[in-house]
Structure 1
């Protein structure tokens, strides 16, 4: 069942063109000139209940703008969006009780108070029954392993611990849809892994729909069912991670295992060396050349004991696409 539907969703910003100098500043005061920047252009999407969706793209691609339109924070310039059978920009109380928005670079919890005080306030705002509140606090704190930190002043916690409290604060009232904008930004590896595990586990238990933007490809690959790629405000792909690899990767990873030490530079002519360890060499080679390369290596009798071909890791593909400017 689809719970988010966007039709030709678009957002443009009017930007004041300011000239330098005092004289031009005075002129601008009476006769301002504006340009328009398209942040999102004719975006169509359908999201089903219980899906975890990753929005991908470089800075300025329109990811955060899209989340803000889906949640009703921003009005679309044109187009239409329906979320849970509501028009988000109407900001109806019933709608707001069913969604949550977490921004990795913006805290919603008072740093001078223990997190549990903010949770109690959240309980009152969203009218969470006592039984459900206690159940959710215990469940979320246990899943994120922070029960022992609930009564500690927020500013005394680490960045990773504070983000876990932000997640509890947003999931506390059992929203049906959660928008996460860079939820692991700046976090250490262990905190990132813990949050990814939490999102997957929570979705399985509650069937919550989660939409994530992140520049950490591991967040997307390890958490999401589907990805939407944006390029300069336009959607260029909507499908599974495996489909991204199939459609966009022009390379393969060739792994060679040797029975004795070799000079890896002797193999640099075949492709880009990405790893050499314990007599195992990994190269990125052109997809269309791998058969001829393997045939040549076997014919040269180079003390190779094993050869394998795998797809290029998802994050390498996305980095390649970004570098080439094919997506945001």
Structure 2
């Protein structure tokens, strides 16, 4: 049985539409007009135990709404879902003790308490035995390098330190399913790397099933073998990350280093991304890579030549290029 299953999951929000002016306000007292927005539109997919899945899409695509339904915070307008065999929005204790939701833009820790006391509150809520709690705190704070910050007030922690503490709080009860909504947002490069390394280690060691949303494509590339792309509330792609390159990119990048300065033009070979006297980056159709490489070798003194896929960010921009945030 899959750990997470969605079948036609749908969420529609109904909002009051008010025209301008006093007359419209008075009219609204007796007759209201509403606008319906379908945030999630018949989404279906399955996730097996231990999978680390990237959940991608532009702003307003329905990612966070989907995670809120899967964690039981929102009731759907239609469709079905199961998490660990439970219906999420029924909010059974058996499910709540086995899942965790971490939202990078929401605080779960108590702002005016030291981090250690916030973690103690979580221990009491989940009724974690003292010995297990201490072992988990020691292990997680060591892995995330925040042991020295346990006595610091949460409000006085840096953003990176606070997010690491939030992650520890989310994992104290050893959840089987972890929903991560932008966990590295706003973090510096070093903190992002620490969090990524920790999540990779935790997923491998604990076999925790993880769904991750992130606008940092490096998070997805390093952590998620599988991705689900969503736009306008609909699933556009579900499969291995590597497949995106073949399905959404018709080009490759040829990078050349010259052994001496070169001034000749290469625009007739493809789309020149960057050209310096000793370097060239050019985007060419996949089927013309060999011919372009031969032409460059014939035309200039080449010291090194490599062929690579376009950055994932570029492909995402192409996939969602017509979407307005």
Gaps of 5+ in 2: none
Q: Which residue of 1 aligns with 2:165?
A: 165
Q: How does 1:168-207 map to 2 (within 5 A)?
A: 168-207=168-207
2:318 to 307, 317, 320: 320
Does residue 139 of the first structure (1) align with residue 139 of the second (2)?
yes
The TM-score with structure 1 as length reference comes to: 0.94
Q: Which residue of 2 aligns with 1:308?
A: 306
Which string of whole-angstrom CA distances, capped at 9 and with x for unpartnered residues, describes residues 179-230 of structure 1? 1111111111111111111100011111111111111111111111210000
Which string of whole-angstrom CA distances, capped at 9 and with x for unpartnered residues, describes residues 264-283 of structure 1? x8224434444557923222
Instruction: Please tell me whether the aligned partners of residues 241 and 314 of structure 1 are also in contact (alpha carbons under 8 angstroms).
Output: no
Which string of whole-angstrom CA distances, capped at 9 and with x for unpartnered residues, describes residues 52-85 of structure 1? 1111000111100110111111111110001101
Q: Secondary structure of the equivalent of 1:195?
A: helix
The TM-score with structure 2 as length reference comes to: 0.95
Q: Which residue of 2 aligns with 1:57?
A: 57
Does residue 16 of the first structure (1) align with residue 25 of the second (2)?
no
Structure 2: distance between partners of 1:119 and 1:159: 17
Structure 2: distance between partners of 1:268 and 1:68: 49
Structure 2: distance between partners of 1:288 and 1:28: 61
Which string of whole-angstrom CA distances, capped at 9 and with x for unpartnered residues, describes residues 161-186 of structure 1? 10001000110111111111111111
Which string of whole-angstrom CA distances, capped at 9 and with x for unpartnered residues, describes residues 21-70 of structure 1? 11111112211111211111111110011111111000111100110111
Q: How does 1:118-129 map to 2 (within 5 A)?
A: 118-129=118-129
Q: In terms of mean alpha carbon deviation, does 180-189 or 284-293 score higher?
A: 284-293
Q: Secondary structure of the equivalent of 1:288?
A: helix
Cα distance, 1:2 vs. partner? Answer: 1.4
Q: How does 1:287-306 map to 2 (within 5 A)?
A: 287-300=286-299, 302-306=300-304
Q: Secondary structure of the equivalent of 1:72?
A: coil
Q: Which residue of 2 aligns with 1:282?
A: 281
Q: Which residue of 1 aligns with 2:225?
A: 225
Which string of whole-angstrom CA distances, capped at 9 and with x for unpartnered residues, describes residues 233-277 of structure 1? 1101111110111111111011112111224x8224434444557
Aligned length: 325
Q: Secondary structure of the equivalent of 1:2?
A: coil
Instruction: Please tell me whether the aligned partners of residues 177 and 208 of structure 1 are also in contact (alpha carbons under 8 angstroms).
Output: yes
Gaps of 5+ in 1: none
Distance 1:172 1:249, change over 3 A: same
